[in-house]
Amino acid sequence: MHHTHLVVETRQIDPVEDLLAYADPARPLAWLRRGDGIVAVGEPFAEIRPTAEPGQTRLEALATFWRGLSAQADVTDPLGLPGTGLVAFGAFTFDPSSTADSVLTIPSRVLGRHGDRFWETRIRLAEDTARPTALETRPYGPHWAGTVGPGAQSPQGYQDAVRAALERIADGELSKVVLARDLRGTVPAGSDLRRLVRALATGYPDTWAFAVDGLIGASPETLVTVQDRTVTARVLAGTIGRGADADADTAASTHLASSVKDLDEHQYAVQSVLTELRPHTRALAASEQPFLLKLPNLFHLATDVEGELEEGRSTLDLVRALHPTAAVAGTPTAAAVSAIRDLEPFDRGRYAGPVGWVDADGNGEWAIALRCAQFTATGGAIAVTAYAGAGIVAGSDPESELLETRVKFRPLVDALA
């Protein structure tokens, strides 16, 4: 049995114009942001789809598995950049009770880029001494278009769900719940899904563009990152819409920065993140004052949290501790998750769950799977389900929340068309 450990070799290579051109057209595995990132080449080395043991979540099972595998691996990595060495891509369900599966995929070969440096990593069993085949691009398949229409939650049903949520909020059961709706449809059999990943990566360079086990999207929301064992997380809580002109914009930002209610909500969110991360980190600190983060349509109060990863921990432990956040479930979280189970007529699957990668040292980058769709090969046409949600609070208007989901669907629906 002693030969079954992994041998992992990373080497620097000449620049590659398009990482995605080397990926599998039917099952791309990719993580990209501003041109940097990692893409799997060829068949995966392994896919782990855990079933939870009693008293243990699937995520705990994965963290334990990854820790054991990493400890046994023989890694040669002269570059030490984000995404070099032994890596696995992951996509996990939003709700632990989901019927969909969480997956950790270990590629057999990876191409990566960080700034002007490029690399190839090979992951194999110690006894597998076969020479690797030459790296070859796979030409992009023809353009394709998908059609999506209302899913399990119709536009009318969505507005009714928002009204039901508002009643629960009025009863004091919870102060915020994020409700989603779905669009379902198909894309033609044999479609080259790399086209969608490429469109999202180039169209939305500031998001995390991802493709993991048929889950493809471009997320604006980071969950947590670890590099050189430094943990960073950004807390966004407290929001106001941007003004129609410069004066209104200034007024909105000033209002948010001085709103006691929003500052209180923000501090509460910061404290809860510190509490969740503390068992897995050392020297954890948050800036004293939140800053204003300006997005195209919103201002957020934001705080950056930083610490050092505790020995023997990995980003998977942090992901487990932080998920689900108030940003994708609501406040208080447990009440919000229970309201989502009651009010959404579908299983979210991996929508709003953690998606990202982890390496042998516990480093990694994880986002929340938003602005995304799940593609499932059915033998014929490829089934696709897209999701979008909106945060419901007291005073929310069902019609404007429906419109907000429409805006959030747009990047994906446009790219599908």
Strands, E, within 36-155: which ranges? 36-40, 44-48, 74-76, 87-91, 103-107, 109-114, 117-125, 147-150
Computed on alpha carbons and rounded to an integer, the radius of gyration of the chain in Å comes to 21
| Closest residue by Cα to residue 373 from 41, 34, 3, 91 | 91
Strands, E, within 95-207: which ranges? 103-107, 109-114, 117-125, 147-150, 176-187
- Is 408 a known active-site residue? no
Which residue carries 């889950």 as its tokens?
Answer: 215
Q: Do the beta carbons of residue 224 and residue 232 sit within 8 Å? A: yes
Task: Compute CA distances 374 → 88, 101, 304, 306, whole Å.
Answer: 19, 12, 31, 32
Catalytic residue chosen out of the listed positions 9, 60, 221, 308:
221
Catalytic residue chosen out of the listed positions 120, 176, 265, 276:
176
- Is 176 a known active-site residue? yes
| Closest residue by Cα to residue 213 from 31, 4, 81, 6 | 31
Query: Which residues are known catalytic residues?
Result: 176, 221
